[in-house]
Structure 1
Amino acid sequence: MKSLLVVCLLGLFSLSGSAESAKPRYLVVPKSVNSPYFDEVERGCIAAAKELAVECLYVGSYEADARFQDRIIAEHLNEHIDGIAVSVINSRVLVNRSMLLAAKQSVPVVTFDSDFSAKVLAQNPALRASYIGSDNFQFGFQLGLLAKRFKPEGGIFCVLSGHRAASNMQQRLAGLYAALGPQNSENSSWEEHSRCPIYSDDDAERALSNLEKMMRLHVYAPELLDVLINLGTGAQSEVLKYSDEVGHYQNVIDKQQLVLLFGDTLPSQKKLLEAGLAHGNVGQRPYDMGYQAIYTLHALNQGKSVQPIIYTPLEVCVAGKQPLCQ
Structure 2
Amino acid sequence: MRKKIILLVAMAAVMFALVGPVMAQKKVLAVVVKGLDNPFFTVLGNGCALWNKENPKSEYECLYTGPASSADEAGEIQIVEDLINSGVAGIAISPSNAPAMGNMLKRTKPSMPIMTIDADLSEADRALRQTYLGTNNYNMGVLMAKHLKSMNSKGGSVCMQLGNAAADNINARAQGFRDTISGMKGIERLKGEGGWTEIDGCPLFTNDQIDLANQQMSDTFISNPNLDAFILVGGWAQFGPAAYAQVTDQVMGKLKSKKLIIIAGDTLPPQMDALKAGRSHAQIGQRPFEMGYRAPSVLIDLIQGKSVADPLFTGLDECTEQNKNSCP
TM-score range, shorter chain: 0.7 to 0.9
Other structure's SS at 1:37 match: helix
Report the secondary structure of 2:146's partner residue. Answer: helix
Q: 1:20 to 1:78 in 2, by over 3 A?
A: farther
* Whole-angstrom distance in 1 between the partners of 2:325 and 2:65: 36
Superimposed CA distance per residue, residues 49-68 of structure 1 (whole angstroms, 9 cap, x where no aligned partner): 33333311111122223211
Which of 1 and 2 has greater Rg? 2
Quickly say closer, same or farther: Cα 1:252–1:19, change in 2 above 3 A. farther
Letter paired with 2:163: G
Name the structure 2 match of 1:61: 67
Q: 1:266 aligns with which of 265, 268, 276?
A: 268
1:296 aligned partner = 298
Q: Matched residues in 1 for 2:230 and 2:280: separation?
A: 10
User: Is residue 2:77 matched to residue 1:70?
Assistant: yes
Contact 1:274 1:320 (8 Å CA) reproduced: no
Seen in structure 2, the aligned counterparts of structure 1 residues 99 and 38 have a Cα distance that, compared at 3 Å, is farther
Aligned-partner SS, 1:84: strand
Answer yes or no: is the 8 Å Cα contact 1:184–1:191 preserved in 2. yes
Structure 1 CA distance, aligned partners of 2:116 and 2:273? Answer: 30
Contact 2:163 2:234 in 1 (8 A): yes
Q: Look up the equivalent residue of 1:299 and give its one-letter code.
A: D
C-alpha distance in 2 between matches for 1:154 and 1:227: 9
Pairing of 1:161-172 with structure 2 (within 5 A): 161-172=162-173
**1:324 CA displacement:** 5.1
Q: Output the CA distance in 2 between the equivalents of 1:192 and 1:19.
A: 58
| Change in 2 beyond 3 A, CA 1:19/1:159 | farther
Is 2:27 the partner of 1:24?
Answer: yes
Alpha carbons of 1:96 and 1:184: their partners in 2 closer, same or farther (altered >3 Å)? closer
Q: Report deviation, 1:280.
A: 0.9
Deviation at 1:79, TM superposition (A): 2.4
Given the superposition, is the C-alpha separation of residues 285 and 49 from structure 1 closer, same or farther in structure 2, using an over 3 Å criterion? same
Q: Is the 8 A contact 1:73 1:98 kept in 2?
A: no
Q: For 2:266 and 2:162, how far apart are their aligned partners in 1? A: 13
CA distance in 1, matches of 2:76, 2:103: 12
Check 1:20–1:155 CA distance in 2 against 1; reply closer, same or farther (3 A cut).
farther
1:260, CA displacement in angstroms?
Answer: 0.9
Question: SS state of the match for residue 27, structure 1?
Answer: strand
SS of corresponding position for 1:96: helix
Q: Which runs of 5+ in 2 are unaligned?
A: 1-20, 185-189
> In 1, Cα distance between the equivalents of 2:112 and 2:327?
39
The equivalent of 1:153 in structure 2 is 154
CA distance in 1, matches of 2:43, 2:232: 20
Q: State the SS of the aligned residue for 2:115.
A: strand
Amino acid at match of 2:174: L
Shift of 1:100: 3.7
Pairwise CA distance, 1:24: 2.3
Equivalent residue for 1:110, pick from 93, 109, 115: 115
Q: CA deviation at 1:218?
A: 3.6
Partner of 2:308: 306
Instruction: Name the % identity.
Output: 30
Instruction: Note the residue ranges of structure 1 that are not aligned, 5 or more in a row.
Output: 1-17
Query: For 1:197 and 1:294, how far apart are their aligned partners in 2?
Result: 35
Aligned residues: 298
The more displaced of 41-50 and 284-293 is 41-50
CA 1:196/1:21 → structure 2, altered by over 3 Å: closer, same or farther? farther
